[in-house]
Structures are given as C-alpha cells and as structure tokens.
Amino acid sequence: MPFLGAGLHVIVALFFAVHVVRSNQNMYWLFILFIFPLLGSAVYFFAIYLPQLRTSRHVHAAGRAASHAMTRLIDPQRAVREACEALDLAPTVQNRLHLAEVLLETGDARQACEHFEKAATGPFAGDAAVLMGLARARLAAGEAAQAGAALQTLFDAQPAVRKQAAPALLYAQILAAAGAPHAREAFEQALTCADDAAARCLYGEWLQTQNNDADRQRAQTLLDDILHDAQHWPRHARDHNRQWLQRAQAAGAAR
C-alpha cells in the first residue's frame, strides 16, 4: 500500500508536469513537482491549474455569449424560426412558452401574448411562469390593464408570490404604466424583496418622471447606490445586473 500511494503521487506530478510544458509555465515547476511530488502537486494545482481552468471556462462562456449575440444581430429571426419548428414538432406547453419568450425578446409582444394566452389554459391556468410571461407580454404590448389582470390571477392562485422579487417589481411596473395611484407603494414593496439592481433602477427612473425635487433626489440616491455597489460586485453579479448598471450610468450622465 505505501508503494501504491507513492506511485499515485508520481502520476499526479507527471500529469501536472505535462501541463507545465504544454501551457508554457516556468520550468522551475518541474523541479518542484519531481523533488516534492505531493506538496508540489498541491501547490501547482491551487496556484496555476485551478485558476487557468476557471479562466478557460469564463472564456468559453464569453465566446458562446458573443456567438449568440452575433447570430441575433445577423439573423434576428433565427431563434423565432427554431422555436416555431420545435413547437411544430412537439406542441408542448414548454415549447410554446419558449416560443413566446423568444417572440417577446425580439419585440413581437402581440404574438407573444397569443402564445402565452394559449399556454394559460387547462392545468397551466394558474402556473406562475405562464402568468408572469403573459403579464410581461401584455405590458410590453401597451396593455397595462390586461397585464394587471393576468398578474392578479397569479396572486389569487398563489398569494405568497406577491412577496417574491420578480412579481413584486412587475406589479409596480404595471401600476406605473397605468398611472395608478399606488405605484409608489408598489415600488417601495419591490425594494424590500429585491434580489438585484432592477428594482432600484426602475424605481429611480420612475421617480425621475415625477414633478418634484424630493422624488428626483430619491431617484439620484437609488441610481447612485447602484453605481457605488457595482464597484464591489463579483463577476457574476456584474453580468447579471449589466443592463441596470448601464441604465444607471446613462441616467447619471444625463444629469
């Protein structure tokens, strides 16, 4: 058994030695790996191999995102065609929801509404994803009252959803679009359960449209908070909040 353990250490050291050569690392790592195979392998793993592995994954992910963005730019209807084909081949609720989301993303809110409405029947009539999607599509189509009705159906079916971040913020957006008197209260409620910068950004933008200095000052505070917090966000948080950060920066530049 001691010989087996020693052999395993050497095999691991050889694996990292190959990585040293292939990745053009400093040759002193070979000395460390062969003189101290166990300790050297552990140090090399944490100092060189693991960081490179993480970087490689980020690069591949960024490459895929760039490729998808380029495809959308060159052929914006490709995703719609593929989603339509998938629905034709398998007319499931999941495929219909995917098509509706793609249509909404590409700016065809009216047609997205039709597919969300078809999905919101039968056993999926109270489904949160379906009703949230329908409410978003109707809001994007300029139908704030109908959007509110869809969201109210969800709240009636699942009252606890009111306290979740996305539904609470969507409710505030709908009230704001409809010019309802309780929009401010809805935005304040959305802030209390927010899990990203969306609520602060959208509330700040709405406050900027109000005709008084106090609201404009509150808007500035909310948007400045986003800019301040962004300095400390890890990579995944910055990626997730990219559009809200850009909108906060644009609002700051316009002041």
pLDDT tens readout for residues 179-224: 999 999 999 999 999 999 999 999 999 999 998 999 999 999 999 9
Look at residue 159 in the predicted model and tell me its pLDDT: 92
pLDDT by residue (tens digit) across 146-180? 999 999 999 999 999 999 999 999 999 999 999 99
Whole-prediction pTM value?
0.71
Tell me how far apart the terminal alpha carbons of the chain are, to the nearest angstrom.
72
**Rounded CA separation 36/21 (Å):** 18
Give the DSSP H/E element, type plus range, for residue 113: helix 109-119
Q: What one-character DSSP code corresponds to residue 124?
A: G
- Residue 51 has φ and ψ, to the nearest 5°, of -60, -40
Helix/strand/coil (H, E, C) string of 127-156? CHHHHHHHHHHHHHCCCHHHHHHHHHHHHH
